[in-house]
Chains A and B, each alone.
Chain A
Amino acid sequence: MSGTSTAGLAEAARKVLAGLDGKQLANKDRMAIPAQDMPCQEPGIRAHNMDEVALGYTEAQARVEAARCLQCKNAPCVPGCPVSIDIPGFVGLVASGDYHGAAEVIRKTNLLPAICGRVCPQEKQCQAPCTLGKALKGVERAVQIGRLERYVADRERASGGTPIPHVAPPTGKRVAVIGAGPAGLTVAAEVRREGHEVVIFEAFQKPGGVMVYGIPEFRLPKAIVREEADKLERMGVRFELNTLIGRTIPLPALLQEDGFDAAFVGVGAGLPKFMDIPGENFVGVFSANEYLTRCNMMRAWDRERASTPIYPSKRVAVLGGGNVAMDSARMALRLGAEEVRVLYRRTREEMPARAEEVEHAMEEGIVFDFLSSPTEVLGNDKGVVTGLRVMSYRLGDPDESGRRSPVAIDGSEHEVHFDTVIVAVGNESNPLIAKTTPGLNVDRKSHVLVDASQKTSLDAVWAGGDIVLGAATVILAMGEGRRAAAAINEYLGKK
């Protein structure tokens, strides 16, 4: 991906496209078409700005990439998508240059394609079972479905924005959606389409959930999230921001006093886990949630305008191997850190982060210390971080899940100097709703228990996304939202 300029990628794609023009392509021909790399900002430049890293396909690239799709009759990619987009359908339309038609196909099952095309882990979802990827022996050579989805969505946005979905006449029924993250926004749109009144209650000052406070601008521009919220408002959905259900208004009061006929709980998994090692409360140790919230939602990276301060860091350790760890590390670099090291207990193969994000981080100069994990945070007499005591590991035998677990190497402990430590080892469900809502059944990790239609133990209350799944992905939250919305619409239709 690196080493090829945007102009070079575009020019190569134009040549390939000219060669394909008017030809009937056999599967053999399609397999020979080169996979299209994503044009990106140069690593040396982007490491110092907050602009989006991946620039998006050019039109020729999109058409060439779409031409690689074999249009399999059984379409193994579709079940790989949590919201079951008709992938061969929209990709076929891109290949023929009908971008508007492609957008219509995606819109049938996905209302947030500009977001999903950017942040879904496609290599683990739709692109994993792709026939072309299997034939070419590498998931990275599968049809780049996410990039095509993004191209279609961005093209439509650039040409005046997506049309407002049709809204059925008012039914007089009212639905409360709690949490304006990916699950809540999906439910709001799907329920509103049926003509029900929808109010979204959001604790923060901006809608979007993790898309606003967690995922950085350089991966998901906030303007896109804002556009989606605006679209919902134009459909007639109302936002009640700065409202924490369970504190500002108890959940039962919404149904019993405020006249809502149904409620959806999509409050996510925003509770950060810490390592539980000595020294974790020293100044300079942050949860990734805090670090990213300061930077993304409070925009502390803009020192001129934002009032929220960000800690001045030179040598940063990021603990963890997921997307949140990658986002934190790359953010710290952009804020002027001289050295950022990611410490991960296993190896690159076991990292849960998207392959593309790991690659981007490495290109930008983030250093990876695999098979290492801290046992203690070190600090000075002022309670400020000075470093980590780090233990080295080797991979042992595979466990029941097939993953090789790390085994500590005796006597390998050593000290490394850092001035900042960002802990990105996962999140847990927010317990507030469970704590303040009698009769809502949850498991011991505060995950809300639901049936196959996302219905909770309470009458007229559904739940979905990370509050049910634990920390998962944007697209899985949307999938749960779609299921819940269908059940809510069915329930209200009968009521």
Chain B
Amino acid sequence: MNKIIAKTRLSDEVFRVEIEAPHIARERKPGQFVIVQADVEWGERVPLTIADADPHHGTITLIFQTVGVSTHRLAELEAGDSIEAVLGPLGNPTHIERFGHAVCIGGGIGVAPMYPIAQALKKAGNKLTVIMGARTKDLIILEDEMRAIADELIVVTDDGSWGRKALVTEPLKELCQAQHKPDIAVAIGPPVMMKFCAETTRPFGVKTPASLNTIMIDGTGMCGGCRVSVGGSTKFVCVDGPEFDAHLVDWDGMMLRLRAYKPLEDAAHKALHEGGACMLDTMAELARASAAKAGGSK
């Protein structure tokens, strides 16, 4: 059992929880993830990246987006509640060294797993540029945190509602075209974003690791549900990754595998909302109501 110490709603769909996990807090390194199960009897095992850790207090921070039934159930838990099972840290840590100029590209919720990697790259003495993007202003997360560590921060939105109106690949391409191109470009985000980051850096020969987010069940290498083709050979993302050379990943194959359960997942998610079983909408309303009340009494 891992107790939730604090919980914040970062946006409509994105939550941050700080949970008790002393062993994981002590051992984890940037790039690693956990498998979380809200209910060990019937719940699903979902992989989430460790966004931050405090070994002194024995806590880790997870940031997740409510995309289906399991993340919804997780989001319904409050500070003081416990997550029944948290397994980790899993996967290989990110290789961190002093490369020179490091660019971190985070898309959507991918900004959360990018944060500890950016932190570590900065600490290792790299010049750090962070490009972070989202569909719209409301989905931008961790901007202040990133600003605090980055030498240069570029924020983009698809609709131009915040920062520059562009896709993350545009500033990335400009950086690659500069006189001193980056020494490394780390990409984390939706697969399609990582694929196009890889295509952007490929002609410039900029080393581009990407952190893959495939379907997982056990997360310990015993099932191969997360397998992906890298450089023509099959790799298990949970133990051989999650980071791979983005120029060698079979992105199209990976995206097809990610959609394997889409119809089942969508049906379950829809049933959750239509059956009135989703507590999040109610919780948000209550929060808004109490905020309005607090505001009114001033």
Contact = CB atoms under 8 A, between A and B. Distances in A.
Interface string A273-291: 0101000111110110110
A432 B220 contact: yes
Interface residues of B, number: 44
A196 to B, nearest CB: 23
Given A247-B27, A248-B24, A309-B264, A206 B40 contact: yes
A33 interface: no
Contacts of A281: 227-229, 234, 250, 253, 257
Contacts of A432: 220-221, 239
Interface stretch (A55-63, A237-245, A328-336): A237-245
Contacts of A244: 87-88, 90, 220
Contacts of B70: 307
Contacts of A312: 264
Interface of B: 23-24, 27, 37, 39-40, 42-45, 69-70, 73, 84-90, 217-218, 220-225, 227-229, 234, 239, 250, 252-253, 256-257, 259-261, 264-265, 268
A206, A270, A282, A307: which has the most chain B beta carbons within 10 Å? Answer: A307
A289 B228 contact: no
12 contacts: A204-B218, A241-B85, A244-B87, A244-B220, A247-B90, A248-B24, A272-B223, A281-B250, A283-B256, A290-B225, A293-B218, A298-B44
A253 to B, nearest CB: 9
B23 A243 contact: yes
B259 A283 contact: yes
A454 interface: no
A473 B37 CA distance: 30
Kindly state the interface size class of chain A when it binds its partner: 35 or more
Contact of A290 (B40, B89, B223): B223
A271 interface: yes
Please classify the interface of chain B as helix (H, G, I), strand (E, B), loop, or mixed, using the class held by over half of its residues: mixed
Contacts of B43: 307
A384 B27 CA distance: 39
A96 interface: no
A308 B268 CA distance: 11
Contacts of A206: 40
Given A281-B227, A298-B45, A307-B39, 19 more contacts: A242-B85, A247-B88, A248-B87, A270-B221, A274-B224, A280-B234, A281-B228, A281-B229, A281-B253, A284-B260, A287-B224, A289-B222, A290-B225, A293-B222, A305-B42, A308-B45, A309-B264, A382-B256, A432-B239
A311 B84 contact: no
Contacts of B223: 272, 287, 289-290, 293
A298 B70 CA distance: 13
Nearest to B44: A307
B248 to A, nearest CB: 14
Interface in A298-335: 298-299, 302, 305-309, 311-312
Nearest to B223: A290
A249 interface: yes
A396 interface: no
Contacts of B24: 248
Contacts of B220: 203, 244, 270, 430, 432
A294 interface: yes
Interface of A: 203-206, 213, 241-244, 247-250, 270-272, 274, 276, 280-284, 286-287, 289-290, 293-294, 298-299, 302, 305-309, 311-312, 382-384, 430-432
Contact of B44 (A308, A382, A384): A308
A430 to B, nearest CB: 7
Contact of B261 (A270, A311, A430): A311
B221 A307 contact: no
B73, B86, B252, B264: which has the most chain A beta carbons within 10 Å? Answer: B264
B217 A383 contact: no
Contacts of A308: 44-45, 217
A260 B177 CA distance: 57
Contacts of B73: 307
Nearest to B263: A312
B69 A307 contact: yes
Nearest to A204: B218
A284 B88 CA distance: 28
Nearest to B259: A283
B263 to A, nearest CB: 9
A287 B223 CA distance: 6
Nearest to A289: B223
A308 B43 CA distance: 7
Given A241-B85, A270-B222, A287-B223, A248 B23 contact: yes
A196 B234 CA distance: 44
B88, B222, B250, B260: which has the most chain A beta carbons within 10 Å? Answer: B222
Nearest to B24: A248
B224 A242 contact: no
B82 to A, nearest CB: 12
A276 B232 CA distance: 11
A282 B259 CA distance: 11
Given A281-B257, A283-B259, A308-B44, A430 B264 contact: no
A204 to B, nearest CB: 7
B42 A430 contact: no
A242 B87 contact: yes
Nearest to A306: B42
B267 to A, nearest CB: 10
B89 A248 contact: yes
Contacts of B40: 205-206
A305 B268 CA distance: 11
A203 B264 contact: no
A247 B221 contact: no
Given A205-B84, A274-B234, A307-B69, A294 B217 contact: yes
A309 B261 contact: yes
The 9 A-B residue pairs whose C-beta atoms are closest, nearest first, are A383-B256, A270-B222, A290-B223, A307-B44, A205-B40, A309-B264, A287-B224, A283-B260, A289-B223
